[in-house]
């Protein structure tokens, strides 16, 4: 009985682990897209060129996700997020002066 209970418990852990990791790639991309959209909506002061670059990176990343190239899309999304973080920090610094 104890062996069956332990086996059942391990099977449940594996099932839960499998379910949570099966959608992680698309969820990761979706989360990054949501982060970019949220940061863009905050109205940080940025140049037209910066805004266009980030918008283009987002569009290109979405195309790559649709093609199944999630690793390449993640790189683009990560770069866009890094740029937005620098823009946000610059905006905060400029407003503090």
Query: What's the rounded Cα separation, in Å, for the pair 59 and 94?
Result: 29
pLDDT at 89 over 90: yes
16 lies in a domain?
A: no
Domain annotation covers residue 81: yes
User: What crossing angle do the helices spanning 24-41 and 48-66 adopt, rounded to 10°?
Assistant: 160
Task: Note down the domain range covering 64.
Answer: 23-96
Q: Rg (Cα) of the chain, in Å, rounded?
A: 20
Q: What is the pLDDT of residues 32-61, one digit of tens each?
A: 999 999 999 999 999 999 999 999 999 999
- Residue 4: inside a domain: no
Is residue 10 domain-resident? no
Domain count, the chain: 1
pTM here?
0.69
Does some domain include residue 42?
Answer: yes
In a domain, 29, yes or no: yes
């Amino acid at each position: 009985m104890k062996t069956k209970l332990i086996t059942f418990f391990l099977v449940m852990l594996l099932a839960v682990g499998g379910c949570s990791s099966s959608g992680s790639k698309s969820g990761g991309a979706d989360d990054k897209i949501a982060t970019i959209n949220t940061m863009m909506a905050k109205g940080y002061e940025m140049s037209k060129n910066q805004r266009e670059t980030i918008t283009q990176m987002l569009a290109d990343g979405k195309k790559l996700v649709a093609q199944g190239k999630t690793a390449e899309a993640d790189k683009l999304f990560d770069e866009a997020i890094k740029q937005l973080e620098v823009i946000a920090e610059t905006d905060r610094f400029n407003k503090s002066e």
